Structure 1
Amino acid sequence: MPTHAPPAPAAALRSVLAALRSPTAAIRGVRSRATAYGGLQPELPLPVHVLTGITGAGGPPSTKLTGWRFLLRGRDASVGTAEAMLTADGWAFSHFGEGPYVRSTETALRHADALPGPYQPRLLSVPELYMLTLWLHSDTAADPAGGTLLPTDLLMPLAPAPPGIAAHVPHRVAALLPLLTHRLVPPPLLQAPA
């Protein structure tokens, strides 16, 4: 069943479009890619959340919306990303990106479309592990800015994933979070024999 992607805030899209037209975009190589690929169009916007409190004793981990990421598509392929972030004055362009997560995001979204059941796609970052996942939220009508991980949600790590965690394989939240917690909590110190 296809995923149900929510629309990005109009101001976030406008900030990305303005950055793509900006002469300073050439500094980051975007202008040359736009020429080489026939112009870049932002598509497949996904809300980006950061996972916090994963090792805390204060209850379940939470997420915080940090921005909206758009894939930048040329004639034949996605070649990068553009991200908008929420500021005190509203949505503003943040940065362009490229690298393995571009293609990995497309691959994960294709896998998600083949899964049974509807999901709302989001991105979930775990900065402590340098990990990015496709978060498949089971409440398709939820506000994309909301940050509650539900037991019925799936997390699909993007490549490159941390060692021992398979990329593009959906994991239930309840199965993956303990594994991530285990990786982030330092092992107890060994005591010298008495």
Structure 2
Amino acid sequence: MITNPSPFRLRHHRGIDQTLSETRPMIGILADTHNHVKRTQAAVRVLQEQGAEVLVHCGDLASPEIVEICAVLPLYFVFGNHDADSAADLKQAAAQYGATCLEWGGQFEHRGKRIAVVHGHMTIDLRPLLESEPDYLLTGHTHTARDWQSGPTRRINPGALFRTSEPSVALLDVVADDVQFLRVDT
């Protein structure tokens, strides 16, 4: 079930008022699943229903099963502080399910936008990523949904699916530069 939690609002930027549609280039963003299988399945289902064409997991997957669940769409993911012991297994799952493992942080391009991804627990130095001025920097770790601008880079944390009273994910429309935070109920 999907609902918009009260602290999360659809944000419109640059004067564009777009409704969410499967024809828009949507990126589904999730983080901090901590091997919570049912909630991850619900989150992926919500993001698919809302038109995500790509998923980005911002770390703390905690098991290869989360890679399998998320790989129903093209998937990019990074390691989080709870992934150190399972990093080799997560890389193997990425190869098995056709996902892209960015290890402790990295970038990719989607629909002409540069997307940088880190977990946010300071294992990687953010300076090189930020100096390249990506359009977006996606993070996790804090278990708090947040959207803010840092110079030319928009930074988005989708919140968490574990250890939170309001499990959430984010849906990013890279054309309209809109982000919507979605509550995930199981």
- TM-score bucket (shorter structure): under 0.3
Q: RCO higher in 1 or 2 (8 Å CA, sep ≥ 6)?
A: 2
The structure having more radius of gyration, on CA atoms, is 1
Greater helix share, structure number:
1
Tell me the TM-score normalized by structure 1: 0.24
